[in-house]
Structure 1
């Protein structure tokens, strides 16, 4: 299990511990009220044992907050599901993963995405997608013959961005370093940068680039906000997904702060042009 999953479990354990403390119950009194052994209570509160749904019901009743049972069980289930090991998810192949995301993108009216390392998926050109997914296949010991199908599946949803009717709208914020991370060689990157340049003119797209320099918000892992109803973030070892209102509010606040650092329009195109010049210079050496 990834560190993120472990932290999510610990956060849930703290919620339960705080409920007991707020109710003024000592460990022994709580054990008497719930019928749980002191050792089990301690393990749950320290995140070393994950409670069952029956444990949560007994916990809330003992603390006098039965009204929170449904809320906490919903969080409990989400914590259990929010992290998926990549290797397990990818057993069906990268094409399956890409095709499965198609309906989500098609049904999203506003997608907000932040990326610090790579170009957001729906903005990637064929060569760039191929390079990124080939790296992923090698990293996770996946068959390379699945890559082309995965490339096609990812590109199949790009029409939502380039030929949309206004139903699907996009707000991207990327770090300037994304432009300088060259995947697939200089020719692939020139094509990718050309596409990003053109995307700045699309009426349903806001493409912001955070230039180097002073800032009041750090960068971090990528995240995608789908219509303010779900957030998805992928790391090296797992995929985090949440629909909890508090989590959505946090990521929306983070996106808004990151967006304030970004430049748009001509200023963004100037950053892209600078990197295109760097590519041309590198080809001459």
Structure 2
């Protein structure tokens, strides 16, 4: 799966659109740069996605190319690209509670959730103790403000959507996530019991991808969540990636389907969770 490369691809796509607008106007890159008062290399940098255009750049481009009807859409596209890739430190600098609260509107308006986790149990399926252990690790790792208790309370409140509203949840978890001890054995035991309970909810489908599963496709990727067919959020080590381009969303949908095809469900999934409980001793 792409990471920050998705941002570069989006910049290049925007650059190609700018080039088409310039060519349709009959202007050369040199002539456009002269009209806008830019160095002649700037048009090339913008058209090849090497330099992200500012709002002022786009306004000048469309003005001189006679395409001012394109201005608003191009600015919205450029702003969306710059918001795709955001470092965790930037997101979390105001505290973990704010980070948890910020996603609530997205969760409430989403009908179909598709979640794949290769790192930890998905947040909507976590216990308070497990969430506390995860967020304490984040505080230590990224030196964020320590408001873990408040952030845990927000996440636990958010889990009400599992039992209310018109929401459906398809969840895939790699088996090695079950074998990774977060907190201690008591935390993990409680988490596994909760996972079995939540998996029985009518709105939830839980699949576990077994260790040693034969992978013709369905390779492990960065953890991601699909919100309907409108947005994908990807969890990278250093940053949070937001995907909104339809082509890329389709790529993630394909990846999810391939992973779902090698997962196990129902009693077989519960047996893997039970085995993980037994391994705690």
Q: Same fold (TM over 0.5)?
A: yes
Question: After TM superposition, which residue ranges in structure 1, 4 or more long, deviate above 6 angstroms?
Answer: 21-25, 60-68
Corresponding residue for 1:196? 195
For the residues of structure 1 that align with 2:242 and 2:259, how far apart are their CA atoms?
20
Consecutive unaligned residues in structure 1, runs of 5 or more: 281-285
1:273 aligns with 2:271: no
Rate the CA distance shift 1:18–1:241 in 2: closer, same or farther, 3 A.
Answer: closer
For the residues of structure 2 that align with 1:170 and 1:65, how far apart are their CA atoms?
43
For the residues of structure 1 that align with 2:273 and 2:143, how far apart are their CA atoms?
34
* TM superposition shift of 1:205: 0.3
* TM superposition shift of 1:69: 5.8
Stretch of structure 1 that moved more, 31-40 or 165-174: 31-40
- 8 Å contact kept, 2:21–2:67: no
* TM superposition shift of 1:182: 0.9
1:169 aligns with 2:168: yes
Aligned 1:147-226 pairs, distance under 5 A = 147-161=148-162, 164-165=163-164, 167-212=166-211, 213-215=213-215, 216-226=217-227
- 8 Å contact kept, 2:22–2:28: no
Aligned 1:206-285 pairs, distance under 5 A = 206-212=205-211, 213-215=213-215, 216-280=217-281
- 8 Å contact kept, 1:78–1:242: no
Rate the CA distance shift 1:229–1:192 in 2: closer, same or farther, 3 A.
Answer: same
Rate the CA distance shift 1:20–1:98 in 2: closer, same or farther, 3 A.
Answer: closer
Provide TM-score, normalisation by structure 1: 0.83
Provide TM-score, normalisation by structure 2: 0.84
* TM superposition shift of 1:159: 2.4
For the residues of structure 2 that align with 1:269 and 1:52, how far apart are their CA atoms?
52
Rate the CA distance shift 1:166–1:29 in 2: closer, same or farther, 3 A.
Answer: closer
- Equivalenced residue count is 273
For the residues of structure 1 that align with 2:233 and 2:139, how far apart are their CA atoms?
21
Corresponding residue for 1:43? 45
Corresponding residue for 1:8? 7
* TM superposition shift of 1:51: 2.0
Cα-to-partner distance string for 1:232-256 (whole Å, 9 max, x where unaligned): 2222222222333233222222212
Consecutive unaligned residues in structure 2, runs of 5 or more: none
Q: Aligned with 2:170: secondary structure?
A: strand
- 8 Å contact kept, 2:161–2:167: yes
